[in-house]
Structure 1
Amino acid sequence: MQHDSGSVRSKLILMAVSTTFVALLSASIAMLLYDLRTFQRYWVDDLMTQADIIASVSAPALSFNDARSAQQNLAVLRVRPQILSGAVYTSSGVRFASYTQGTLEPAYPVKPGRPGYTIDRGELVVYHNIVDNGEVLGTVYLRARFGLVERMLNYAAILGIVLLISLVIAALVASRLQQGITRPLLAVTNVAREVMQRRDFSLRVPGNNPGEIGVLVAAFNDMLAEIGRRSHALQEANLTLEHEMQVRHRAEEALLVADRRKDEFLATLAHELRNPLAPIRTGLDILRIRSGDAQATQRATDIMERQLRQMVRLVDDLLDVSRINTGKFAIKMGRVELKAVVNDALEVVRSYIELHGHELAIDLPDRPVFLHGDATRLAQILSNLLNNAAKYTNRGGRVSLTARVEERDLVIQVADNGIGIAPDMLNHVFEMFVQVDSTLERTNAGLGVGLSLARRLVELHGGSIEAHSAGINRGSEFVVRLPIVVEPEMPTKTSPAAFMTSETYRILLADDNVDFVNSIGALLSAMGHSVVITHNGPDALTAAARFCPDYAFLDIGLPQMSGYDLARGIRRLSCGQMTLLIAVTGWGQEKDRQLAFEAGFDHHMVKPVRFEQIEEILSNRSVIKKVRG
């Protein structure tokens, strides 16, 4: 207690003494500077006056060359002991007479300086011209002691004594007055310490002090009462805050991981999209150089088609993930048969598996198994799993697909003897952009979206998927569970031959990709259709007005006029309402489809377009038209 009280008391006294000290010191310094300046001015004026007197009385001596009179005039300076020496110089700069205080011979200047004064090593030196009737006869030189340091020391000593006495008085007065402040503060300190030790907020500071101290004590007591009321609420808030901090910390870690995976994904995406371009470019060179070699042409075509399918697969996977994440992904549910789904999946990945020299084993139930789902998306699930197994298995490995029925569930297992999965990665392989092998030395890369897409598609079908692995280089297994249709019904699957038609139509093709549109036009013309090909919007609109097409396949990004404007223009034609408009574009988001339908299109196709898709549209003239807004 006494220590705390003494500390506060000492600080108050120190504050008062320090304030007094600073004020007095500032005043003392100001007075000292003023006195020194006044002292210097006084000495300069005095010595200049003395020099002027000697110059006046020495002018006749110089005029009559009376050195003795000049010497006598200088001898009068002995009554001024502060003047150390003096001299009279002629106009030519020759010393005419001189004076020295004491016996020590001073060093006189060889020639007099310019009129005025200087301070040299604690001495004041004055030069003054001797003038008679406007003519300069000579110069008076005086050197005197300039006791500025002594003056400053004496004055500082006086100010120091005054300052010390003032500080002692200030300390005594502050020590007397501080008790009215420290006593209430000491009481507040004691109560605060007890509250901290006992956590008892019912304690109060006694007394009724006037002034600001009393306000402080009352405010402190009110604060204790308020703290007591909020203590319990604060504890609950702390618990909530701790929980939120944990959640936020986990979220930040997740964001960091997502950011890292995003960077890895972008780098991998660039790598994966470049990979198919090299063999496609090589295939084009083969077609150009060896166009007459049918075998080489076929081999180049196979390579380019395989690489193109790989690029389309990458882009489709990204679009599907985007649609699922934005809630715009829809599946067409229906009754599908397991073997048909497996065949569709094998059609996609068989060439990739054979390219790597893998052994593929298929084991399916003997009886037909029917599922309620989207056949295309179910095949995509299996193709993604098979593609993943082939990708992460060394050349000449083994990939298997087995299926069995367990009560009301279909269990599909896709296994391989590849690089396997580390135990700490089993719970992460289905996350977006996660790759089991992320080293630069990996021979097969990927975007890290295939397994994530497969899991989301399985969940959309009401199923589940799990990953299993015995460890690195010990293979991996993915198990998919899907509900089955208990009472099977044989589905009818439309064969590609059903898309062919014996009818012929007037078809307008508008696309600035000359190779694409010319090749499609040649195929359609070979089937007997009347085809008009244009490469920009205005030409297409003119052709539509003259040709009145039954079908119009229009690119959206046309020169001079967009596909949307072209569609609106065709709809305004007299025969435009009878034309079936199909948008052909590289933009496949839901908003792009909506823009196409609003512009008047009946159908929306995403590049690259397969000829089978065009055949399917042509096979059914009564294709369902979208309601135009």
Structure 2
Amino acid sequence: MPARLSASADHTRFDGRRVELLLPVREGGVLHGSLLLRAHYDALPRLLDYLAILGIVTLASLILAALVAQRLQRTITEPIVAIAGVAREVVQTRNYGLRAPRMTRDEVGALVEAFNDMLAELGGQAEALQKADRRKDEFLATLAHELRNPLAPIMTALAILARPDTDRATLLRMVDMMQRQMQHLVRLIDDLMEVSRITTGRLTLRIEKLDLVAVVRAAVEGTAPLLLARQHALQADWPAPIWLLGDRTRLVQVFANLLSNAAKYTEPGGRIAVDFITQPGSVAVQVSDNGIGIAPERQADMFEMFTRIDNAASGVHAGLGVGLAVARQLVAMHEGQLLLRSAGLGQGSVFTVLLPRPAGDHVEAPPAPVAAPAPLPSRRRERPERAGEPLSVLVADDNVDFADSLAAVLQGEGYRVRVAHDGQQALQLAREALPDVGLFDIGMPGLDGFQLARAVRAEPGGATCMLAAITGWGQQADRQRAREAGFDEHLVKPVDMQAVLGLLATA
């Protein structure tokens, strides 16, 4: 102990770098000893120690941060960069078979897996779009071909009719041929409209109690000319009536299509069979043939729109390739199935229509069947009789050729005809002299046919006119609009001239 510190009293000394503290230890007033505390108070070494500790901590933090960054790059950044790269390559190459690698099993890995699933879905949709695009091109090519087929003989017949030396027998033969080709064109258009009604859900069924056997018989009768022309043998065991609920017209259409296809795709002199198979709750009708058959790889596509099988050797037109697709949709609307079975090319085909039916023969008609479209209600009063005076007819159509040719035919039949090529002109003519009969197009510019009909009805005496729409719009909604606008009749182009003349005969 330094001598300068007294052991009997408290002493403290501080010289700038060192602190000394002397404390005596007593008990009962008796000094037992002293406690000496000495500390060095040098700031620089302590600061250096702190800096050393801070450096060590900082270095450790940097190492830890580097490890974390490396881990994050491997688990988050690299997968995201890989996704971006794959996405960029897919956009550039349209290769939807590319996939981003999954590196982890965590949330980022789930993101990569979802991205790959999205690519797979997009790839499927892109393939479907490409397939639909190919079908569209095939359909347009087929449609152009099917339209040119009847147009070619019509053009030839027109050239023959234009020759001054054409005899009457040739004229009649050309006219008959042109009528047949026009009917073929109308059937093509009807097929397209049928597809539109079914795919847009605008087709409704007239459900009634019917005998399926009678339905199939009607289909056979409708296709008999084709069966006879190709010398096919039809085999059918006609059972007792099989009662069920359905749309007679649509089911006849289904079986007529199947029989027609069997006739077309079976070489002349072939065999076509119709068989009925009844089971509890259902009935199956099979239409089989020993024709050209269908390859296994084609069978899955046979019920797709615009799918055709070429059979050029048969000499029969294959059509637009919508028949089977429409038939399957119609059967599905009856809660049934249309199935196909073929062993392959040259092995024939079997089409089976499976329809539900109540057990036994007890079939109750539905409580509220869908009624047929009601005839257009007549809004006309009796026209005043003018003995010996022909009917006056107002034809309004923006198709100048159609309007003028229709007027020429009617004038040849003895009618007094005026022609307008737009709605405003037709209304002006009607106001000058109200016609007995108005034949109006619907889609005229400016004042359309609906507006024209309403305006004519509003004229004094307009209720006595017979108004008929002659238009290319033939949907049920169009007929309803015509009825509401005031038309008495609705004729769809190309109009049958006999229908027009019959209409005028009742005016």
Task: Give the TM-score of the pair, scaled to structure 2.
Answer: 0.62
Mean Cα deviation higher: 434-443 or 590-599? 434-443
Amino acid at match of 2:486: G
- For the 8 Å contact 2:282–2:354, the answer to whether it is kept is yes
Instruction: After superposing the two structures, state which structure 1 stretch, 433-442 or 409-418, moved more.
Output: 433-442
Partner in structure 2 of residue 535 of structure 1? 419
Match of 1:393 among 231, 241, 266: 266
Quote the Cα distance in structure 2 between the aligned partners of 1:457 and 1:448.
Answer: 16
Partner of 1:190: 67
- Aligned positions of 1:480-559 closer than 5 A: 480-484=353-357, 486-487=361-362, 508=393, 510=395, 512=400, 513=402, 514-516=404-406, 519=409, 531-536=415-420, 538=425, 542=429, 546=433, 549=436, 552-557=438-443
2:121 aligned with 1:247, yes or no?
Answer: yes
Q: 2 CA distance for matches of 1:460 and 1:577?
A: 42
**Equivalence for 1:467:** 340
Q: What is the aligned partner in structure 2 of residue 315 from structure 1? A: 189
Q: Quick one: distance in 2 between partners of 1:435 and 1:264? A: 10
1:606 to 492, 503, 507: 492
**How far did 1:460 drift?**
1.4
Equivalents in 2 of 1:545, 1:367: separation in Å? Answer: 65
Q: Which has the larger radius of gyration?
A: 1
Q: For 1:114-513, what aligned pairs fall within 5 Å after superposition? A: 184-191=61-68, 233-234=107-108, 236-284=110-158, 292-294=167-169, 299-338=173-212, 341-342=215-216, 345=219, 349-354=223-228, 357-359=230-232, 361=234, 363=236, 365-437=238-310, 444-484=317-357, 486-487=361-362, 508=393, 510=395, 512=400, 513=402
Residues 541 and 570 in structure 1, CA contact (< 8 A), matched pair in contact too: no
Distance 1:309 1:366, change over 3 A: farther
Checking the alignment, whether the CA contact within 8 Å between 1:534 and 1:540 is kept in structure 2 is no
| Residue of 577, 580, 584 corresponding to 2:470 | 584
Match of 2:139, as an amino acid?
F
> What's the CA shift string for 1:171-200, capped at 9, x where partnerless?
xxxxxxx99998754433335567899x9x
Cα distance in structure 1, aligned partners of 2:157 and 2:223: 21
Give the deviation of 1:265 after TM superposition: 0.8
3-state DSSP of counterpart to 1:275? helix
Q: In the TM superposition, what whole-angstrom CA distance separates every residue of 1:340-379 from its partner, at most 9, and x where no partner exists? A: 6446545654445555x24151526243444533333223
> CA distance change for structure 1 residues 235 and 559 in 2, over 3 Å: closer, same or farther?
closer
Change (3 A) 1:561 1:192: closer
TM-aligned CA deviation for residue 319 of structure 1: 1.1
SS in 2 for 1:447: coil
Report the Cα distance in structure 1 between the residues aligned to 2:157 and 2:193, rounded to whole angstroms. 27
Task: Tell me the amino acid that sits aligned with residue 66 of structure 2.
Answer: T
1:484-532 per-residue CA deviation (whole Å, 9 max, x = no partner) reads: 5734799xxxxxxxxxxxxx9868462552445655787xx6xxxx955
Letter in 2 for 1:542: L
Counterparts of 1:598 and 1:328 in 2: how far apart (Å)?
A: 19
CA contact (8 A) 1:509 1:521 kept: no
1:555, CA displacement in angstroms? 2.5
Deviation at 1:269, TM superposition (A): 0.7
| CA shift for structure 1 position 288 | 6.2
- 1:195 to 1:545, Cα distance in 2 relative to 1, 3 A: closer
Stretch moving more, 583-592 or 279-288: 279-288
Contact preservation (8 Å) 2:394, 2:426: no
Alpha-carbon contact 1:554-1:583 (below 8 Å) kept: yes
Provide the C-alpha distance between the structure 2 equivalents of 1:619 and 1:402, rounded to a whole number of angstroms. 47
SS of equivalent to 2:153: helix
Q: What displacement does 1:312 show?
A: 1.7
Quote how far apart the aligned CAs of 1:602 are: 4.6
How far did 1:591 drift? 6.0
In structure 2, do the counterparts of structure 1 residues 533 and 338 end up closer, same or farther at CA, with 3 Å as the change threshold? farther
- The answer to whether the 8 A contact 1:545-1:573 is kept is no
The one-letter code matched in structure 2 to 1:308 is: M
Distance, in Å, in 1 between the alignment partners of 2:430 and 2:475 is 30
With over 3 angstroms needed to count, the CA separation of the structure-2 counterparts of 1:264 and 1:194, relative to structure 1, is closer
- Greater helix content: 1
Distance 1:532 1:403 in 2: 58
Q: Which letter maps to 1:421?
A: I
Q: How large is the RMSD of aligned CA atoms in angstroms?
A: 4.5
Unaligned runs of 5+ in 2: 1-54, 76-103, 366-381, 384-390
Structure 1 residues 307 and 575, CA gap change in structure 2 (3 angstroms): same
Q: Using the TM superposition, give the Cα deviation of residue 586 of structure 1 relative to its aligned residue in structure 2, in angstroms.
A: 1.2
- 1:465 is displaced (CA, Å) by 0.2
8 A contact 1:508–1:544 mirrored in 2: no
Partner Cα separation in structure 1 for residue 449 and residue 344 of structure 2:
54
Task: Determine what percentage of the aligned residue pairs are the same residue.
Answer: 38
Q: How many pairs does the alignment contain?
A: 391
Q: SS at the partner of 2:203? A: coil
Q: Post-superposition shift, 1:581? A: 3.0
Q: Provide the C-alpha distance between the structure 1 equivalents of 2:123 and 2:312, rounded to a whole number of angstroms.
A: 28
Contact 1:431 1:452 (C-alpha < 8 Å) held by counterparts: yes
Consecutive unaligned residues of structure 1, counting only runs of 5 or more, are 1-177, 200-229, 491-503, 622-629
How far 1:419 sits from its partner (Å)? 2.5
Q: Contact 2:265/2:311 (CA < 8 Å) preserved in 1?
A: no
Q: Which amino acid aligns with 1:535?
A: V
- Cα deviations by residue, 1:545-583 (Å, 9 ceiling, x for unpaired): 74553x544223569964334313311222223445332
Q: What letter is aligned with 2:189? A: V
In the alignment, the residues of structure 2 paired with residue 446 and residue 601 of structure 1 have an alpha-carbon distance, to the nearest angstrom, of: 35
